[in-house]
Amino acid sequence: MCVIIYCIIKRKESSHHGNKKRSFFDIDGTLVNDSRMVLKSTEKAIRALKEQGIFVGLATGRGPFFVRPFIERYDFDFAVTYNGQYIYQGQGLICFSN
């Protein structure tokens, strides 16, 4: 699934952003800890990736309404939701649905 997602995002962004690197975060156990908190070190890592020009996004089995607060708070560039069925870019623009 990750290869397919990568190809879709790369194709959609190739004319605008060249070959930018992308970093994906899962939510449960990766972005948030067992206490449902995002650690300061994780926030710092997200900012550092973005400062390096790397696209930062979420990849999760959860739905788009669940990830929207994370997108807004941490300024993620995209979110792959429902295990790849919907890919959102920016402020909720659907760039792929299956």
- Catalytic one of 26, 28, 34, 75: 26
DSSP state of 28: B
CB 60 within 8 A of CB 79: yes
Establish whether 26 is a catalytic residue: yes
CA distance 51 to 32: 21
Closest CA to 2 of 18, 29, 23: 23
| Cβ burial, residue 38 (10 Å; 0-12/13-18/19+) | middle
Catalytic residues: 26
